[in-house]
Every structure is written in structure tokens, then in C-alpha cells.
Amino acid sequence: MLMKTDMNSIVDKWLDVSERLDDNTERLRGSVSLWDDVLTIGEDIDVWSNNSISQLNDVISNLSSSQRTEAFLKEFQVPLHISNYLCWILT
């Protein structure tokens, strides 16, 4: 009888440990999934910032020529004036 009680106690402890291991394993899986998401977001941010820096460098080099900048601004203003005019007509 004593041996059966000891065995039951051991089985109960093993089941408790096994349940805790399963719970911790699930938490770790969730953590790994979140970490993968963080790494993916970090990669996306790196790509975005590299592209943005490249575009900013292009803008800076284009702005170094005041004539090109002035021409660009004039070209940019024409569609704005047209769109403002169309909005005014349509309202």
C-alpha cells in the first residue's frame, strides 16, 4: 500500500511537471513568433530607411542646382493650379 501511494505521488508530480512544461513550451512558441515578427519589422524598417536615405540624397543632389530646382517647382505648380481651379469649378 505504501508503494502504491508513493507511485501515485510520483505520477501526480510527473503530471504536474509535464503540464508546466507544456505551458512553458506554448509560451516559448508564442515568444518565438513575436520575435520573428520583430525581426521582420526590423528588416522592413531597414529597407524603408535605406530607400528613404537614397531618395533624400537624390533630392539633395537635385537641389544643389538652383536652376533645376526652379524648373521643378514651376512644373510642380502648374498641376497644382489646374487642380485648384478644377476643384473651385466643381464646388
Q: How does residue 3 score in pLDDT terms, banded at 50, 70 and 90?
A: confident
Q: What is the pLDDT of residue 5?
A: 84
Q: How does residue 11 score in pLDDT terms, banded at 50, 70 and 90?
A: very high
Domain range enclosing 55: 2-65
Residue 83 lies in a domain: no
The three-state DSSP-derived secondary structure of the chain is: CHHHHHHHHHHHHHHHHHHHHHHHHHHHHHHHHHHHHHHHHHHHHHHHHHHHHHHHHHHHHHHCCHHHHHHHHHHHHHHHHHHHHHHHHHC
Residue 38 lies in a domain: yes
Residue 9 lies in a domain: yes
Residue 33 lies in a domain: yes
Residue 48 lies in a domain: yes
Residue 84 lies in a domain: no
Residue 82 lies in a domain: no
pLDDT above 80: residue 70:
no
Overall number of domains in the chain? 1
